[in-house]
Amino acid sequence: MKRLLLSMAMVANVWAISNYDLAKKSDAVMSGYGDAKAEMVMTLINANGQERQRTMKSMVLEKKGGDKSLMEFLTPADVKGTKFLSYEHADKDDDQWLYLPALKRVKRIASKNKSGSFMGSEFSYEDLSAFNIEKYNYSGDAQEVTVNGKKYYKSERIPNSKNSGYTKQVAWTTTDTFLTMKVDYYDRKKELLKTSTLSDYKKISGVWRIGKIEMLNHQNDKKTILVWKNETIKNGLTDKDFNKRVLKR
Rg of the chain taking only CA atoms, in angstroms: 19
- Residue 222 in domain: yes
The mean pLDDT value for 61-89 works out to 95
Rounded to whole angstroms, how far apart are CA atoms 225 and 212? Answer: 7
Look at residue 16 and tell me if it is in a domain: no
The residue type found at 59 is: M
Domain extent at residue 72: 32-247
pLDDT tens profile 196-249: 999 999 999 999 999 999 999 999 999 999 999 999 999 999 999 999 999 988
Report the b/e string of 133-142 with b at 16+ CB within 10 A: bebbebeebb
Does the residue 12 lie in any domain?
Answer: no
Using alpha carbons, list the distances in angstroms from residue 100 to 78, 81, 108, 116, 248: 11, 8, 11, 17, 9
Domain count across the chain: 1
Provide, rounded to the nearest whole percent, the portion of the chain with pLDDT above 90. Answer: 88
The secondary structure of residue 121, as a DSSP letter, is: S
- The predicted-structure confidence for 134-164, as pLDDT tens digits, reads as follows 999 999 999 999 999 999 999 999 999 999 9
Predicted confidence (pLDDT) at residue 12 exceeds the cutoff of 60 = no
Given a cut of 50, whether residue 9 has pLDDT beyond it is no
Rounded mean pLDDT, 25-54: 97
Q: Which one is predicted more confidently, 131 or 34?
A: 34
Amino acid present at 184: D
User: What would the mean pLDDT of 20-44 be, rounded to a whole number?
Assistant: 96
Per-residue pLDDT of 93-120, as tens digits, reads 999 999 999 999 999 999 999 999 999 9
Q: Is residue 18 included in any domain, yes or no?
A: no
* Tally of CB atoms within 10 A around 205: 11
Given this model, what pLDDT does residue 15 score?
A: 59
**Can you give the CATH number for the domain in which 145 is found?**
2.50.20.10
Report whether pLDDT(61) > 90: yes
Mean pLDDT score, 33-43: 98
Q: Is residue 22 part of a domain?
A: no
**Per-residue model confidence (pLDDT) at position 150:** 92
| 164 Cβ contact partners less than 8 Å away, ≥ 6 residues apart | 114, 115, 126
Task: Report the pLDDT value the prediction gives residue 39, as an integer from 0 to 100.
Answer: 98
pLDDT of residue 36: 97
Q: What pLDDT, on the 0 to 100 scale, is given for residue 96? A: 96
Are 22 and 153 within 8 A, CB to CB? yes
In a domain, 182, yes or no: yes
Percent of the chain with pLDDT over 70: 94
User: For residue 21, is it within any domain?
Assistant: no
In whole angstroms, give the CA distance from residue 215 to residue 195: 6
Does 82 map to a domain? yes
**Bond prior to 101 in cis (omega within 30° of 0):** no
